[in-house]
Amino acid sequence: MLRAAAHLLPLALFAPLVLGGAACDGGDGDDASGSATAGTSTLLDEVDGYRGWARAPGDYETPLVPSQGVHGGFVDIYVNDVVAEALLAEAGTLSEWPTGSVVVKDGFSDAEGSSLSLLAIMEKRANGWYWEEYSADDLEAPIFSGSPDICVDCHASGSDFVRAFKLP
Ligand code: HEC
């Protein structure tokens, strides 16, 4: 178990997500934040309010879908505006999710959604997907971040790494 000395940085980070495309063409260093705004922020800081976002399409429009994967028994999956807009594209016109795409997943251990067990986030940056996963016990520091093989390998079979839904 990773118990990092909490970096309590409730900084007001005004969603640099949409600007992601412009922000990171340097490509220097993988594990530092790709955004120019804040070196120590986590994706979780950036996605504040994600439970108000659109739900992922298809089966995931309904809350608390039984997980097919390793992400807790029942999942809620949310997409940001970049993904929501990409989903409206004409069929066959997108070969990958645009830079700035973010998908957040809550994994619950119970079908009522009262017990969060983990939280996973993926963000499409100019140099590829950036991943984070948290145990619900400690939302201050991710247990995985960056591009861990464990995430990438299993998600490689997805639609540009997204498992729950497909590119239009
Ligand atoms: C053994 C396979 C597997 C591994 C390992 C895995 N995932 Fe997933 N992931 C899935 C599946 C399957 C889904 C589809 C939703 C569901 O059934 O839970 C998913 C969904 C997601 C989603 C919602 C978007 C999407 O792709 O559908 C996020 C975000 C996510 N995973 C993050 C992660 C992170 C971060 C890691 C690494 C710490 C990780 N996953 C490791 C199988 C996996």
C-alpha 156 to ligand 1 mean position (Å): 10
- Count of residues making up the chain: 168
79 lines ligand 1 (CB under 6 A): no
**25-61 pLDDT tens trace:** 333 434 444 433 445 689 999 999 999 999 999 999 9
CA of 65 to the centre of ligand 1 (A): 13
- In angstroms, what is the span from residue 112 Cα to ligand 1's centroid? 20
- Is the Cβ–Cβ distance between 51 and 146 less than 8 Å? no
CA–CA separation, 84 and 115 (whole Å): 27
Question: pLDDT at position 35, please?
Answer: 39
- Give the torsion sign (CA, 159, 31, 120, 22): negative
**Dist CA 80 CA 83 (whole Å):** 6
Give the Å distances, CA to CA, from 89 to 84, 98, 123, 128. Answer: 10, 11, 19, 21
What distance lies between CA 95 and its chain's CA centroid? 19
Which residue among 2, 61, 70 has the greatest number of ligand 1 atoms within 8 angstroms of its CB, and so is best to mutate? 70
CA nearest to 25, candidates 134, 133, 157, 127: 127
Write down the pLDDT at residue 4: 42
Contact at 8 Å (CB) between 59 and 96?
A: no
Short-list 1, 16, 4, 17, CA closest to 140: 4
Mean pLDDT of the chain: 82
* Higher pLDDT, residue 33 or 78: 78
For the four alpha carbons of 90, 94, 98 and 101, in that order, the dihedral sign comes to positive
Q: Confidence class of residue 166 from pLDDT cuts 50, 70 and 90?
A: very high
CA of 121 to the centre of ligand 1 (A): 9
In this prediction, residues 73-100 reach a mean pLDDT of 97
> CA 139, CA 119: separation in Å to the nearest integer?
8
pLDDT reported for residue 1: 43
Candidate of 74, 78, 144, 155 to mutate for ligand 1, largest count of ligand atoms within 8 Å of Cβ: 155
